Copies of this chain bind each other. A is one copy, B any other.
């Protein structure tokens, strides 16, 4: 009787263990994973850059137009920032949404702190920054972008800085702010006013030193040396913008797409069929490279030898490659309809390109420009690889 009970007990335990075991995904490293936004479906595809394959999909993520993502420092989780104010934590190994909150009415991206413990979301409505715990998504701090007479500004161009800090721009208030969350009980905000009209996006250089905000309301770029904030915000590249004879702008370029190669920065001209080159030592313009259309993303291959460029409508079927030694376009690709984004593998041997209206992501060998693989996705837009977890300013 006892034996029998033991035996059945074993059987039951073993059976449950089997079921549980079957549900447990196989062990794998996470250094070669990534996600691709399937915008219209409110879904992400989890991908593997070693096998050039889609490993699975995770849905019910809300409005993913203009969505972006950051990764946990162990590279297991993706944090997605949706346009609808949604913040979702996706487990890349179990392929599930571990948690999802709607934290504002309208948001435009976010960042993860240097130590990986804080997620910051830049909100349009209500305007401000919210800070969440990376593990639980509990709200830890709320920093309204208040200015003037009780108004609140849209927040744009957020990036992480060393120390548990975030830097961002106030579109309506013409300001740059740095929030320091190293003491969560007493967050400090340093404010830089009158930086120029209507900053619309921003970035930090790969070393986390310089913050640059593009201005929608006037020409030039606002630049803050975060190592010497006492020097204040300077205006650089005075000719950057629509210039004296404004051209129609089909799509504002993304500043995140700027490329730093060696000590030169490559940036999309606004409205013009040009990529601008500037020296990061003195922040002066050094060259203008004619390209096929109005550039949107201008991204350096990780070694800086090539810069890849995609374009606004009607040239959004092309991608051009600039050689940074000769500063000339050396190749033109036609990956498909509506090329929205591209992402290099961490060491740059390949690049993934999303062609939204062809429902494809194309993978190219960056040495020979040969197509290696093609994946089917529903209206793919942003592509984000886990290597971002280990970089500053992403």
Binding site for B on A (CB under 8 A): 7, 10-11, 13-15, 17-18, 20-21, 24-25, 27-32, 49-50, 71-77, 92-94, 114-116, 162-163, 182, 207-209, 227-228, 261-263, 280-281, 302-305, 325, 346-349, 367, 386-387, 389-392
A296 to B24 CA separation, bound complex (whole angstroms)? 46
A346 to B386 CA separation, bound complex (whole angstroms)? 13
Contact A32–B73 (Cβ < 8 Å): yes
B contact residues around A305 at 8 Å (CB): 162, 207-209, 227
B contact residues around A11 at 8 Å (CB): 7, 10-11, 14
Contact A74–B50 (Cβ < 8 Å): yes
Contact A17–B24 (Cβ < 8 Å): no
A49 to B72 CA separation, bound complex (whole angstroms)? 12
Q: Which of A18, A93, A263, A303 has the most CB of B within 10 A?
A: A303
A200 to chain B, nearest CB (A): 26
B contact residues around A389 at 8 Å (CB): 31, 346
Contact B76–A303 (Cβ < 8 Å): no
Contact A115–B349 (Cβ < 8 Å): yes
Query: Which single member of B20, B93, B182, B390 contacts A387 (CB below 8 Å)?
Result: B390
A270 to chain B, nearest CB (A): 27
B contact residues around A386 at 8 Å (CB): 31
Q: Which 3 A-B residue pairs are closest in the complex by CB-CB distance?
A: A31-B75, A29-B76, A14-B14
A71 to chain B, nearest CB (A): 8
Q: A10-B11, A50-B74 are in contact. Are A29 and B27 (CB under 8 A)?
A: no
Other A-B contacts than A14-B15, A31-B390, A390-B390, 7 sampled, CB-CB below 8 A, are A10-B11, A21-B24, A29-B75, A29-B76, A115-B349, A162-B349, A207-B261
Contact B392–A73 (Cβ < 8 Å): no
B contact residues around A387 at 8 Å (CB): 390
A207 to B300 CA separation, bound complex (whole angstroms)? 11
A199 to chain B, nearest CB (A): 23
Contact A347–B29 (Cβ < 8 Å): no
Chain A interface, >50% SS class? loop
User: What residue in chain B is nearest A162 (Cβ atoms)?
Assistant: B303
A24 to B73 CA separation, bound complex (whole angstroms)? 23
A260 to chain B, nearest CB (A): 10
A25 to chain B, nearest CB (A): 7
User: What residue in chain B is nearest A71 (Cβ atoms)?
Assistant: B31
Contact A27–B209 (Cβ < 8 Å): no
B contact residues around A75 at 8 Å (CB): 29-32, 75
A229 to chain B, nearest CB (A): 12
Contact A207–B73 (Cβ < 8 Å): no
> 28 A-B pairs, CB-CB below 8 angstroms?
A7-B11, A10-B14, A11-B11, A13-B18, A17-B18, A18-B18, A24-B27, A27-B76, A27-B93, A29-B30, A29-B93, A30-B30, A31-B71, A31-B73, A31-B386, A31-B390, A114-B349, A163-B367, A182-B367, A207-B303, A208-B303, A209-B262, A227-B305, A262-B263, A281-B281, A346-B391, A347-B390, A347-B391
A228 to chain B, nearest CB (A): 7
User: What residue in chain B is nearest A260 (Cβ atoms)?
Assistant: B207
Q: A115-B349, A162-B303, A227-B325 are in contact. Are A76 and B31 (CB under 8 A)?
A: yes
A15 to B14 CA separation, bound complex (whole angstroms)? 6
User: What residue in chain B is nearest A27 (Cβ atoms)?
Assistant: B93
A182 to B367 CA separation, bound complex (whole angstroms)? 10
Query: Which single member of B28, B71, B261, B303 contacts A392 (CB below 8 Å)?
Result: B303
User: What residue in chain B is nearest A391 (Cβ atoms)?
Assistant: B347
A99 to chain B, nearest CB (A): 16
A148 to chain B, nearest CB (A): 34
Q: A17-B21, A346-B390, A390-B390 are in contact. Are A207 and B50 (CB under 8 A)?
A: no
